[in-house]
A and B are shown apart, each in its own frame.
Chain A
Amino acid sequence: MVLPRGPRAAFPRCPRRCSSPAMAFTFAAFCYMLALLLTAALIFFAIWHIIAFDELKTDYKNPIDQCNTLNPLVLPEYLIHAFFCVMFLCAAEWLTLGLNMPLLAYHIWRYMSRPVMSGPGLYDPTTIMNADILAYCQKEGWCKLAFYLLAFFYYLYGMIYVLVSS
């Protein structure tokens, strides 16, 4: 943050991102804003995921039904995440992109190593009740929730930063 100094304070200028100084609302800011909204959606996905696995664990739901509801949500989640990763790439927000790369890589790995399935999705009703897999999925859900929450505030910060500094 460059502190406004002297008489120029009336026209704050960013030393780095001032390609179009007149336009305060940059593409990067737009990316952050979009990411903010989408991350909010992803947080809901993650919560839904956690609830679903908790229900499985406490016997409220049939694993077939549960997988049928969870599987269609997997790809949208991954695509949303990949989408704003691409957006950050375009906006040349390298730090943000770098923070998201591990999750993106994890998503790609996870989807590559999914069981043999004809439909989209990850979860196989015949193996989902295995305690290891169940615990893994639950842990995955919590970790993602934490990540998305942190990311949410980071994007908020990033957006304000970009807006203010431009």
Chain B
Amino acid sequence: MSQPGVPSSGGASTGLQVQNGAASSLGSPYVNGPVQNALMSSQVSVSQGYNSQLPGPYPHLMPAKTSLNPVSAQNNYGGSQTVCTLSNYQGPGQTLNRPPMVSNPVTTSLHSGPVPRMPPPTSQIPAATSMPSGSFLAGVNLPPPLNWQYSSPSTGSQTNHCPHPSSQPSISGNTNVTTNHQHVFSGDPSLQNSCLKSGGTSNTSNESMVVHNSYDEIEGGGFLATPQLTNKNPKMGRNVGYSYPSLPPGYQNTPLPGTTGMPPSSLNYPSGPLAFNQTPVGANHLTASVHGLSLHPEGLRVINLLQERSMLPTTPLQPPVPNLHEDIQKLNCNPELFRCTLTSIPQTQALLNKAKLPLGLLLHPFKDLVQLPVVTSSTIVRCRSCRTYINPFVSFLDQRRWKCNLCYRVNDVPEEFMYNPLTRVYGEPHRRPEVQNATIEFMAPSEYMLRPPQPPVYLFVFDVSHNAVETGYLNLVCQSLLDNLDLLPGNTRTKIGFITFDSTIHFYSLQEGLSQPQMLIVSDIEDVFIPMPENLLVNLNESKELVQDLLKTLPQMFTKTLETQSALGPALQAAFKLMSPTGGRISVFQTQLPNLGVGALKPREEPNQRSSAKEIHLTPSTDFYKKLALDCSGQQVAVDLFLLSGQYSDLASLGCISRYSAGSVYYYPSYHHQHNPVQVQKLQKELHRYLTRKIGFEAVMRIRCTKGLSIHTFHGNFFVRSTDLLSLPNVNPDAGYAVQMSVEENLTDTQLVSFQSALLYTSSKGERRIRVHTLCLPVVSTLNEVFLGADVQAISGLLANMAVDRCITASLSDARDALVNAVIDSLSAYRSLVLSNQQPGLMVPFSLRLFPLFVLALLKQKSFQTGTNTRLDERIFAMCQVKNQPLVYFMLTTHPSLYRVDNLSDEGALNINDRTIPQPPILQLSVEKLSRDGAFLMDAGSVMMLWVGKNCGQNFLNHVLGVQNYASIPQTMTDLPELDTAESARTIAFISWLREQRPFFPILYVIRDESPIKANFLQNMVEDRTESALSYYEFLLHIQQQVNK
């Protein structure tokens, strides 16, 4: 195979061999060590406690940032990703505690007792065939509850963003609301299930409880504690495939009596528990639209945007929950990692075209996770034809066979997979962690390597021309490196090297044994060569003192330089040559336009044309950097660019070096160590994150999707190596990706589609790992359902990515038009094809109520704005960010959150680890929401701005800002003093809580009326009119005019 790992079709034979190998190795005696036993038993006791503490229905979908119950962290089979081989269930290496098939007394006794032994294939088939007519159809006839608008479980404990039914809308046409359903919305979302259950009689709710308990146990590994019933239920929960309703026959009838005892008033409820327990997954959404109408009226409202102005929820917008059966949805991938623009996939391309909404995925595959199950196993179970990894959404036809959910091929379950290390039970493949987690990491065996895993290699390339020395960045960067040298991700093999350049290239020999670093100057930049290649990249541990020496002396070495030229191109070539044998990461610090040697660039920005949308240079002027990046990519080298430049530096050309080598770009306009302290602080914080964050080397990412769907375009920083494979020399946890999809074949014969992203990388510890995310979504056949399932944030994110491409291939004004047309087209499609009665006004589905607002925000975003004096480099940097940022942060930059913070109270506050975090409501981004006697915090992702009104209360000034009066607020204030007052504690708690939610460190600016940065603050007020851009209301009017044409 031409790529490291993720072998595709050709790999089928190897998979076969592996399976054979595993099967034969089963014969060897496995040691069921006492250590493992002790571990297991302690786990059990712990997990019992866990179960009793947290009966919540969604324990395994913990939000990444929520601090976990410490107990659960222990007993989890996976554990945090920072631990390398957390495989409690699979001992590292060969000391597996997998019992021999026959002779483990412990297992067998457990197994034979309460557990209805997994029926052998013969008995299973009657179970399957006897039942479908009953349960499947029943599920269809009695519609299950629909979970549109379910507050996402991952944030359930924090927020319930659905606007409350107090403002109960006028519900269109056929909607049929019974008030008693609304309690689904109210109250604590974690109780939502019990709300649903409460409609049923006690025995149905028991039924459901049992299901949840069993999931808890799977999570916690508490097998011993489970009552008899639970072992049946998970099997039902596994029942992902619509074609195979595999409930034990006795089971499907139990809820039925319960339904008779229903309160007659709640007509829809009888079906609820029934469907929950019985319906095989695929069936539920057939009736979803009917049922959903009554359960979630809010989600089905049609809104006239011209009348209802305040559509912005006061809490952060949650992604919509796919309309899937609850059991499936529980297993689904966290939307922060993997989400789709349409949570209901249209059946045909024609339907998708009608909806005029983009179909695509937004991924954040390498996000730092608090909890990540890691599997060590010699066989990674994958589909033989499409190479999909086994995932929670496959269906088990019987104990020995599973059906791939992407290509529908029936595969054998390998012998090894039959044993579930979690429960230590043989014959439960459907309860393996691989089948219980949509996000999982495998330790890859050697067939996933083309070469031995590379060591972590870091090369730093510094610009030391006169201009660079002037900015004084070298001091800071070297200091930061010194501080973080021990925190660089790596192991004993870590290598490090340094190159500096002006008009010549300087190498530093750091060979062990030298008394001080030795500088080698290569002045031949036409044909760069590497002097003594073996000593330039050195082992960090062995030469640490020399490296520290160098970092201490480097800033002083060039203070008197008069060299103004910068030979970036040759320096990069040298760096590439140095790195190509190993691969790794090159960090380039550049402060000016490169003007010497290959890759020299010419200034081409015309300052007086900055504001117009025409004739700006968004495309690279040379393909040198792109070609070099492709060479780098081929040798598993990524280049990260730090541009600290006052003047135009042609980021459009320079950025290619990072873009195609899967690096990242950082831009600090007008960096200066004295004149611009804020940038200094920003660089310092970002460098710290950059140097210490996780890193994956020599990575590839493949995205697979159910047959019928195909990948159209990728967005992000990488090189596309084939239709579904991205080459990522480095992968970092702050990078997001977007994928446009198209429907190639009709999906009429399927009801669920799945997407799987598999990221194969080498960790900094030298392990080859595969991180797999799987997302499962329903297929719908009507336009209305497509609109109802639209995820407006994801759509805006994908549109922004497409607009950046449009800017480059066509022009900026074209891209702006395309953005506006996207809104107009989809809303007119909704108006003409979905709404039966043509009402005046701008009617939008509830799911798209923020679409015009977000598109307007995009138009006013730095990448796409016109009329303001945006520097070309800043605009291009903003475009790089659009492409490379994960969706959540991108949406914050586009549409910041505005809070009023001068009157924070503990009402409705969150309590996390004994800290009280006030939760002020999010305000609309309009100046009318500001007032002179308040203080407002704008959280724009990478930056926070605290605007203090002129007549702000003395209380706030004294107790939070620590100043006497308004006039004494310093011009540049970027920190809040920690004062011993309740107000200060609240404000600081709130701001640090916001900061903790993201991996980077947003700088806080305190803004007075006359601060220069106030313009930025006001520019983010997207609902207001500016000189060249419409206000939100005007924009709506414009859209209405176009839609109603």
Contacts and interface: CB of A to CB of B under 8 A. Distances in A.
Contacts of B724: 59
A59 B713 contact: no
B243 interface: no
Interface in B687-745: 710-714, 719-725, 740, 742
B721 A116 contact: no
Given A125-B630, A126-B720, A131-B713, A62 B622 contact: no
Contact of B660 (A126, A129, A130): A126
Interface residues of B, number: 27
Nearest to B741: A131
A131 B710 contact: yes
B1 to A, nearest CB: 11
A53 B619 CA distance: 25
B622 A59 contact: no
B711 A131 contact: yes
Contacts of A64: 630, 634
A118, A126, A132 pick with most chain B CB within 10 angstroms: A126
A114 to B, nearest CB: 11
B719 A131 contact: no
A59 B723 contact: yes
Contacts of B531: none
Contacts of A118: 622-624, 627
Contacts of B2: 62
A3 interface: no
A116 B722 contact: no
A58 to B, nearest CB: 8
Contacts of A117: 623
B626 interface: yes
Contacts of B660: 126
B622, B630, B722, B742 pick with most chain A CB within 10 angstroms: B722
Contacts of B722: 56, 59, 62-63, 129
Contact of B712 (A57, A116, A131): A131
Interface in A47-63: 56-57, 59, 62-63
Interface in A63-116: 63-64, 115-116
A118 B623 CA distance: 6
Contacts of A59: 8, 722-725
B841 to A, nearest CB: 36
A129 B720 CA distance: 7
Contacts of B711: 131
Contact of A129 (B621, B723, B740): B723
Nearest to B713: A130
A53 to B, nearest CB: 12
The secondary structure that dominates the B interface is: mixed
B921 interface: no
A116 B619 contact: yes
A124 B623 CA distance: 10
Contact of B622 (A63, A116, A125, A126): A116
B623 A63 contact: no
B712 A132 contact: yes
A116 B601 CA distance: 14
A81 B619 CA distance: 30
Contacts of A124: 623, 626
Nearest to A61: B722
B249 interface: no
A15 B8 CA distance: 67
Interface string A123-154: 01110011110000000000000000000000
B620 interface: yes
A95 to B, nearest CB: 37
Contact of A131 (B623, B634, B725, B742): B742
A147 to B, nearest CB: 26
Nearest to A130: B713
Contacts of B619: 115-116
A116 B742 contact: no
A62 B627 CA distance: 15
B723 A126 contact: no
Contact of B723 (A57, A115, A116, A125): A57
B186 to A, nearest CB: 46
B815 to A, nearest CB: 16
Interface string B612-649: 00000001111110110010001000000000000000
A116 B713 contact: no
A131 B724 CA distance: 11
A124 B711 CA distance: 19
B723 to A, nearest CB: 6
A117 B712 CA distance: 24
A115 B626 CA distance: 12
Nearest to A117: B623
Given A116-B620, A131-B711, A132-B712, A63 B627 contact: no
Interface string B389-430: 000000000000000000000000000000000000000000
B721 A62 contact: yes
B902 to A, nearest CB: 50
Nearest to B805: A130
Contact of B630 (A115, A126, A130, A132): A126
A67 B756 CA distance: 29
A20 B359 CA distance: 67
B721 A63 contact: yes
Nearest to B722: A59
Contact of B719 (A57, A126, A132): A126
Contacts of B710: 131
B138 to A, nearest CB: 42
A66 B735 CA distance: 28
Contacts of B720: 63, 126, 129-130
B918 to A, nearest CB: 47
Contacts of B630: 64, 125-126
Contacts of B721: 62-63, 129
Nearest to B720: A129
Nearest to B711: A131
Contacts of A130: 712-713, 720
A125 B626 CA distance: 10
Contacts of A115: 619, 623
A131 B805 CA distance: 13
B623 A132 contact: no
B8 A116 contact: no
Contacts of B723: 57, 59, 129, 131
Nearest to B633: A64
A130 B634 CA distance: 19
A6 to B, nearest CB: 66
Contacts of B719: 125-126
Contacts of A116: 619-623
A37 to B, nearest CB: 35
A122 to B, nearest CB: 13
Interface in B584-626: 619-624, 626
Interface string B480-522: 0000000000000000000000000000000000000000000
B621 A132 contact: no
A132 B627 CA distance: 22
A125 B623 CA distance: 12
Contacts of A126: 626, 630, 660, 719-720
B633 to A, nearest CB: 9
A62 B723 CA distance: 10
Interface in B173-231: none
Interface of B: 2, 8, 619-624, 626-627, 630, 634, 660, 710-714, 719-725, 740, 742
Interface of A: 56-57, 59, 62-64, 115-118, 124-126, 129-132
9 contacts: A63-B720, A118-B622, A118-B624, A125-B630, A125-B719, A129-B714, A129-B722, A130-B720, A131-B710
A-B pairs, top 8 by smallest CB distance, nearest first, are: A129-B720, A59-B722, A131-B712, A130-B713, A116-B623, A117-B623, A118-B623, A126-B660
Given A59-B724, A132-B713, 12 more contacts: A57-B723, A62-B721, A62-B722, A63-B720, A64-B630, A116-B620, A124-B626, A126-B626, A129-B723, A131-B723, A131-B742, A132-B712
